[in-house]
Structure 1
Amino acid sequence: MIIGSKMLFVMSGWGTGYSFGCDIVDYSQSPKAMRMVHTCWLYYFSKFIELLDTIFFVLRKKNNQVTFLHVFHHTIMPWTWWFGVKFAAGGLGTFHAMVNTAVHVVMYTYYGLCAMGPTYQKYLWWKKHLTSLQLVQFVIVTIHMGHIFLMEDCKYQYPVFMYIIMSYGCIFLLLFLHFWYCAYTKGQRPPKTIKNGNSKNKQY
């Protein structure tokens, strides 16, 4: 689903005509516009699947993995994306979703290798780089949304979403920087990736 959403975002606008500037929402019934609506719905639905991570952690009593970053990330996205799908399924507000799906392809590849057991531990040396990729993601999203505020005549239909997305970019950037500091600078969460065949430190 994640890979499919990434490709659909590209085919629905970001690779077929969007300018990466002030792209407004297309409310027509054109095939392209309807494809974007379908893509946004799939992305919205995927947020509930990701929320199952938290539920599984609680059921398995993995309380050390239920951090503020994890809970905030997985609970706020389904709630806010309901408004996105309902009112603005397209345009510049979907850029961060396209970037996020690309990062999640890499992230879930890492999880898959973690789940395959200690034999594959030697292939998980890039854990730190995965966190770096997350940080780059939020920098890109924040810059993309920030430069739109410099445009004098942006007719995007729901400006409030611009403020929300930019705020999320900044908040998640700070939270992941804090994770980086604790995990790799202070060493409070050593980058050990395998413990009895499971991922010990999850990249959110």
Structure 2
Amino acid sequence: MEGLQELTFWQKAHLYYQKGLENGDKRIENWLLVYSPVPVICIILCYLFIVWAGPKLMAKKEPINLKLVLIVYNFSMVCLSAYMFYEFTVSSWMANYSLLCQPVDYSDSVLALRMASVCWLFYFSKYIEFCDTIFFILRKKNRQLTFLHVYHHSTMILNCWVGLKYTPGGQSFMSGLVNSLVHVAMYFYYGLAAFGPSMSKYLWWKHYLTILQLLQFFLVTLHTVYNLFADCNYPDALNLIVFFYALTLIALFSHFYYRSYITSRTHDLGKCKV
């Protein structure tokens, strides 16, 4: 203890940082973008720089037509999301996962590594989703670069990294499973929309996507609260991170839904009465 007390603040911080890195799952520490948060944070900062600089660079340029790219990208994301949903479902089913209280299997069994693999793929897919923002910038759809959009894309990466680093499986599989299913619907909608105005009549269900996303966050929140009070052999610190993060998303998506669908509908009814 005396030796630790003699260390400077920065030496102590570095010591705790190294200890935190070493406490991660040893099976996956050499997988891409897993061992240290430094590359992850650098990529997030690059993303934020692109969000800031991109619209300025595109200001005097014409929007780029990305119709074919968007169609291919969105339906590829549908396939990827469907595959992840399948892997989460099959891996948890075969391992006899509990839907309410499931500790992480840190063994080298085939099923445990299969679950860890799909958790990594889910985490890595969040980097791929940065393309959503880049496409907005290239098409000069700057109104889509809302705080909600940027916050969700940038923070989800770090949240997923923490979960993957320390708990690649266990009860955290629920968030990945539900999110993958929601993204199947979401990217399917975006894929249809990419075809242009001819698809408008088939896109009446846009606001249901936001409702689906909100249901997802409520489900994850309830699942996390249950595990906070149950004896599930799962780190409470990670449950708290997920809980507070889900609350921020519920607040932001609720505000988006109210502003986009409730307020606009009231405004349209007001115009009709006039």
- The bucket for the TM-score relative to the shorter chain is 0.7 to 0.9
Pair 137,18 (structure 1): closer, same or farther in 2 beyond 3 Å: same
* Selected match of 1:41 from 120, 135, 139: 120
Quote the Cα distance in structure 2 between the aligned partners of 1:16 and 1:172: 30
Quote the Cα distance in structure 1 between the aligned partners of 2:93 and 2:250: 23
The within-5 A match list for 1:31-70 is 31-70=110-149
Pair 1:185-2:262 in alignment: yes
User: Given that residues 103 and 134 in structure 1 are in contact (C-alpha distance below 8 angstroms), is that contact kept between their aligned partners in structure 2?
Assistant: yes
Q: Which amino acid aligns with 2:97?
A: Y
Query: 2:135 is paired with a residue of what secondary structure?
Result: helix
Aligned to 2:243: 166
Deviations 1:9-56 (A, max 9, x none): 111115641111221110001110010011011101110011121122
Quote the Cα distance in structure 2 between the aligned partners of 1:30 and 1:91: 14
Pair 1:86-2:165 in alignment: yes
Structure 1, gaps ≥5 residues long: 191-204
* Selected match of 1:8 from 87, 104, 111: 87
The structure with the largest alpha-carbon Rg is 2
User: Given that residues 96 and 141 in structure 1 are in contact (C-alpha distance below 8 angstroms), is that contact kept between their aligned partners in structure 2?
Assistant: yes
Segments of 4+ in structure 1 off by > 3 A? none
Q: Which amino acid aligns with 1:26?
A: D
Aligned to 1:154: 232
Q: Which amino acid aligns with 1:154?
A: C
Q: Which amino acid aligns with 2:242?
A: I
Q: 1:155 offset after TM fit, Å?
A: 1.3
Quote the Cα distance in structure 1 between the aligned partners of 2:95 and 2:111: 9
Q: Root-mean-square deviation (CA), in Å?
A: 1.6
Q: If each structure's helix is expressed as a fraction of its own residues, which one has the higher value?
A: 2
Q: Which amino acid aligns with 2:232?
A: C
Quote the Cα distance in structure 1 between the aligned partners of 2:94 and 2:263: 41
Paired positions, count: 187
Quote the Cα distance in structure 1 between the aligned partners of 2:261 and 2:145: 19
Deviations 1:65-104 (A, max 9, x none): 1000000100111122122222210001221111000000
User: Given that residues 228 and 236 in structure 2 are in contact (C-alpha distance below 8 angstroms), is that contact kept between their aligned partners in structure 1?
Assistant: no
Pair 1:126-2:126 in alignment: no
Aligned to 2:193: 114
Deviations 1:153-178 (A, max 9, x none): 2211x321101111122111111110
Aligned to 2:217: 138
Q: Which amino acid aligns with 1:161?
A: L
Quote the Cα distance in structure 2 between the aligned partners of 1:117 and 1:59: 17
Aligned to 2:102: 23
